[in-house]
Every structure is written in structure tokens, then in C-alpha cells.
């Protein structure tokens, strides 16, 4: 059988290629967005390898390209040059359908602006992606995840009836629920008070450790970046190796 590009082949020892490969590899990635006078070289010559199971904090000033880096990592934005591998699969040229299926199986995303479905309750926002993935315990899992982020008493609220921090926690519950191998989060504690932010960070790191999840966190919070095994800095679309700090095991 010839494996499809979205299905890493099983190896002889029973492990899949996904387990044997780095979680993320960017090879010489560049991307320009906008046209003419509005064109911006948002990502420039990015090389980045994130081993499976590592936690990495991405820091850098506003407009430096952090969100765009995450969009490329999750296959929601296509590159102009270079290749992107996720868990051993080259996602650079996957079709939208292939990418959506791949994302559903491997990647959890917490968007900077949450992207919750407005006419669904918190419970439905977390459960529906699980249902679509064929889980018949979707609503039980969703209830548990919402409880874990402290929202047990908000499950029937719609996003417009939730505070910004509560919406953020629904987005985190939704991303964690399918136990993705790669969790990508854009300012996951950005709307939270210090204590709630600490609790959510504890939850992210605990869950990542339990499941061997690779964590990629964009943050302006030095405390959160400092909890990652490694941190890198974006500046004007370039990833600064000079700012990479290897902290060893977290
Ligand atoms: N569609 C687009 N067309 C033109 N320029 C764009 C487009 N999308 C993003 N940009 C520009 O790309 C740059 C990087 O944007 P990005 O959202 O990745 O920054 P960021 O580092 O996440 O910033 P922040 O910390 O404010 O969230 C910005 O200068 C932005 O204006
Ligand atoms: Mg951003």
C-alpha cells in the first residue's frame, strides 16, 4: 500500500513515523502577505525544529509575525517558499481537505481571537469537533474539559454571554479535548487575571506532560515563556536564534 501524504507510515517496531519525527520542522520558510504598497514580508527564512514533546515559547513585539508563524504551523496559511513538516508529514502542499483531516487528528489550536462559534453554547463549542471526529462520548469529554478550565457553571452560555477570559478558557478546553500531539496557542493567558492565568498554564503543562504533547505558546508574558523548555524570539519576521534559551528539562 502506498501511504497517503497525510498518513505517516507505520514503522516496523509498531510506532508511527509521527512518533519518530520532530513535531515541527520549518525549512527556509518565507511568506509575504498583502499586495503592492501593503505587501509585508511577514516571515523571512525561518528554520525551526521542535522535537516531539518539547514546550517552546515564542516571544517578540507586536507585528513581528508570531501569529502568522502559528497559522503556517497549523496549515491555515500557505508559505511562498520553503517546506513545513508536522509530525513527519510534509504539509506544504496538502489540499484543504487533507489539511483539515490532518489538523483534526494532530493539532489543537487556541487562536488569539478564540474563534468560537457564536450560536453554540460553550459545551457545544467543545463537543462538536469531537463529535465530528466520531467520538460518541463527545459531550461527556467536553463537560470534563470545561470543568478542568473552571467553567462547569457556564456550559450552556453562548460566547457573547461569556467574558473574554471565559471565552479563552472555552477555546483552551476545545483545543485540549481531542488530546492533540501538537498544541499551538496564541497568547493563551492573555485575557486572564494572574491567578487564573497561572492555573490555566498549570493545566496546559500538566496535560502536555501526561500526553507527551508538544506545546507551542506565543506569549508576551515572560513568566509563561520561562516555563517552556525553550524560548525563541521573532523580530520583523525573523526567528532569533540568539534569543533561544535551552533550559533543559522543564
Ligand atoms: N493579510 C495581510 N496583509 C498584509 N499584511 C499583513 C496581513 N496579515 C498580517 N500582516 C502583517 O504581518 C505582520 C505580522 O502580523 P502577526 O499577526 O503575525 O503579528 P504578531 O507578532 O502576532 O503581533 P501581535 O503580538 O500584535 O499579535 C504585521 O505587521 C501585520 O500587519
Ligand atoms: Mg498575534
Atom of ligand 1 nearest to the CA of 187: 27
> Measured at the alpha carbon of residue 241, what is the angle toward residues 238 and 244, in degrees to the nearest 5?
120
Ligand 1: distance of its center to the CA of 33 in Å?
9
Q: Which ligand is nearest to the CA of 71?
A: 1
Closest of 210, 244, 197, 190 to residue 57, by C-alpha: 244
pLDDT for the residue numbered 241: 59
From the CA of 234, the nearest ligand is 1
Give the residue extent of every domain in the chain.
21-246
pLDDT of amino acid 19: 56
**CATH fold of 21-246, please?**
Rossmann fold (3.40.50)
Look up the pTM and report it: 0.89
Distance 218 CA to ligand 2 centre (A): 8
| Bridge-based pairing state of the strands 55-59 and 230-235 | parallel
Q: How far apart are CA 141 and CA 129, in angstroms?
A: 11
Residue located nearest, by CA, to atom 12 of ligand 1 = 42
**In this predicted structure, what is the pLDDT of residue 240?**
86
Mean pLDDT, consecutive 10-residue segments, the chain of 250 residues?
A: 45 50 97 92 96 96 96 96 97 95 93 94 96 94 97 97 95 95 95 91 93 95 92 94 46
181 lines ligand 1 (CB under 6 A): no
Pocket flag, ligand 1, residue 38 (CB < 6 Å): yes
Amino acid at each position: 500500500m502506498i501511504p497517503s501524504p497525510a498518513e505517516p507510515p507505520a514503522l516496523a517496531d509498531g510506532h508511527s513515523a509521527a512518533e519518530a519525527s520532530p513535531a515541527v520542522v520549518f525549512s527556509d520558510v518565507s511568506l509575504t502577505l498583502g499586495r503592492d504598497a501593503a505587501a509585508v514580508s511577514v516571515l523571512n527564512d525561518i528554520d525551526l525544529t521542535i522535537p516531539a514533546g518539547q514546550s517552546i515559547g515564542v516571544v517578540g513585539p507586536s507585528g513581528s509575525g508570531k501569529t502568522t508563524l502559528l497559522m503556517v504551523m497549523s496549515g491555515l496559511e500557505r508559505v511562498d517558499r520553503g517546506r513545513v513538516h508536522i509530525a513527519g508529514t510534509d504539509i506544504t502542499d496538502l489540499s484543504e481537505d487533507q489539511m483539515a483531516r490532518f489538523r483534526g487528528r494532530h493539532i489543537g489550536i487556541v487562536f488569539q481571537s478564540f474563534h468560537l462559534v457564536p450560536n453554540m453554547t460553550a459545551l457545544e463549542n467543545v463537543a462538536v469537533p469531537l463529535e465530528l471526529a466520531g467520538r460518541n462520548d463527545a459531550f461527556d469529554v467536553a463537560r470534563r474539559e470545561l470543568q478542568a478550565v473552571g467553567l462547569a457553571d457556564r456550559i450552556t452560555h453562548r460566547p457573547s454571554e461569556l467574558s473574554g477570559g471565559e471565552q479563552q478558557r472555552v477555546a483552551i478546553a476545545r483545543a485540549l479535548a481531542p488530546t492533540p500531539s501538537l498544541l499551538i496557542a496564541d497568547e493563551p493567558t492573555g485575557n486572564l487575571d494572574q491567578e487564573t492565568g497561572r492555573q490555566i498554564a498549570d493545566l496546559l503543562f500538566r496535560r502536555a506532560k501526561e500526553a507527551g504533547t508538544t506545546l507551542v505558546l506565543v506569549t508576551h508574558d515572560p513568566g509563561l515563556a520561562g516555563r517552556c523548555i525553550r524560548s525563541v524570539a521573532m523580530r520583523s519576521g525573523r526567528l532569533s536564534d540568539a534569543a533561544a534559551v535551552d533550559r533543559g528539562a522543564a
